[in-house]
Amino acid sequence: MRQLVSGATAVLTQAGVASPQQDALALAEFVLGVDRLVLALPPELPADFGVRYAAVVDRRRRRVPLQHITGVAHFRYLELQVGPGVFVPRPETEIVAGVAIDAAAERAAGDAPVVVDLCSGSGAIALSVAREVPSARVVAVELGEEACAAIAANARRLGLEVRVLRADATAPQTLADLDGAVDVVVTNPPYIPPDAVPVDPEVRDHDPDLALYGGGHDGLDVPRGVLRRALTLLRPGGTFVMEHAEVQAAAVRELARETGELQAIRTGADLTGRDRMLLARRR
């Protein structure tokens, strides 16, 4: 086993995979059907293990996302089932979700908070809010058909109450029944500019374009529309949280100021200390 994992690590390193040893171990665990290889190594490997392991390592060498091979993505306290056509949640978005969860939990002290996740993607944020703030009424809005199906399936599997709406998150009619009644609007919208194609093949070739490119020369067309919709949805004093690219921090703060309807506008950092989210409150 050590030799096989070591060899796989070398193959993935040569292919440019960012975390070769971690992925080599994860793929071995996937093939064996165990959670922790060092704790559950069988006394004798299955006869076909080498062939099956080589097959999945080759897929990863060709930069198929690890999550698409194993079918699983970990996000905060959740294990989500993901696959082709569904945006793979990123670790940095866990901080965005945490801010929304804290805001919802604060509101939950007095009432059942209403939380809307616009451009929900895999539903990782919405499902995390539902898990960590059980009293919350959570709505996930997503345009992608495969993504909506994945959110609903994960909610059922995890036993979480999340309303899933397939719709344009920027359209005025979307969730019109909740206008002025939402406590927290959180979003990780597409925001990549058209000339900033991702370098990593896992993102460029496998994440849906709908979840990546924000439109316009600066990639902020969709975030602008999401911001407008959030202003209508939020109750006075409601919280708005939006992920963005590091280089967009100043521009996004200016968009928030220009509305004249948001206060306490600031930028939040991700796990690496980069400016990655806008935080504000409805006046």
Pairing verdict, β 162-166 and 137-142:
parallel
Token pair belonging to 281? 């409150």
**188 belongs to an annotated ligand binding site:** yes
Token pair belonging to 250? 């100043």
**53 belongs to an annotated ligand binding site:** no
Any residues with CB less than 8 A from the CB of 22 and at least 6 apart, and which? none
**189 belongs to an annotated ligand binding site:** yes
**92 belongs to an annotated ligand binding site:** no
Token pair belonging to 37? 């290889």
**191 belongs to an annotated ligand binding site:** yes
Give binding residues for substrate as ranges: 188-191
Give binding residues for S-adenosyl-L-methionine as ranges: 142, 188
Give binding residues as ranges: 142, 188-191
